């Protein structure tokens, strides 16, 4: 079973989450490709997709939205899970945060099996992050690697059970 983890990232935090999901799925015995959403042109050869994007002002990044539009017919044919990253606090440690009202309508036609929001990261020294941003936002790494890996194990469990049943 071959899984695509596609992501849209601005400063690398979402790419690191995608890599952790990919590593966890590999540990479960699945074949995984982790790629930027911008670089994916086809879903041929993939049995499932995990798509994630950083959130900025409650919107997914443009390349994630373009991925959905470009590949929507194919996304409807395979199991899909979605994730968002970005809250600069620990709110995602205590409750599942649904898709934002700006993202939900764009991804609804996929019929995704699930969505998870993970905390984000904003640190001094990150390329592209200027002092003005650091002065107006919470600074830190708010990603919970345990939650990220646990969610990926849930996905792996579903996919492995379905492949054994089918």
Residue 99 confidence (pLDDT)? 94
Residue 60 confidence (pLDDT)? 97
- Phi and psi, residue 87, nearest 5°: -55, 130
Go through 16-40 and write b for each residue having 16 or more CB atoms within 10 A of its CB, e for each that does not.
bbbebbbebbeebebebebebbeeb
Q: What is the distance between the alpha carbons of residues 95 and 117, in angstroms, rounded to a whole number? A: 9
Residue 154 confidence (pLDDT)? 98
- The number of angstroms, rounded, from the C-alpha of 28 to the middle of its chain's C-alpha atoms is 18
Residue 124 confidence (pLDDT)? 81
Residue 41 confidence (pLDDT)? 97
Does the structural domain 2-165 have CATH classification 3.40.47.10?
no
**pTM assigned to the model:** 0.94
All residue ranges of the chain with pLDDT < 70 are 166
Residue 131 confidence (pLDDT)? 73
Residue 129 confidence (pLDDT)? 76
């Amino acid at each position: 079973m071959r899984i695509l983890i596609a992501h849209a990232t601005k400063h690398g935090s979402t790419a690191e989450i995608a890599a952790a999901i990919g590593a966890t799925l590999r540990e479960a015995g699945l074949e995984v490709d982790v790629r930027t959403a911008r670089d994916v042109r086809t879903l041929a050869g993939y049995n499932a997709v995990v798509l994630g994007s950083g959130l900025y002002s409650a919107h997914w990044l443009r390349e994630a939205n373009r991925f959905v539009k470009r590949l929507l017919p194919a996304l409807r044919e395979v199991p899909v899970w979605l994730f968002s990253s970005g809250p600069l606090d620990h709110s995602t440690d205590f409750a599942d945060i649904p898709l934002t009202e700006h993202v939900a309508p764009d991804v609804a036609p996929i019929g995704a099996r699930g969505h998870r929001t993970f905390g984000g990261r904003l640190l001094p020294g990150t390329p592209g992050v200027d002092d003005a941003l650091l002065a107006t936002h919470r600074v830190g790494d708010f990603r919970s690697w345990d939650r990220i890996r646990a969610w990926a194990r849930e996905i792996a469990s579903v996919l492995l059970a379905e492949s054994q049943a089918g």
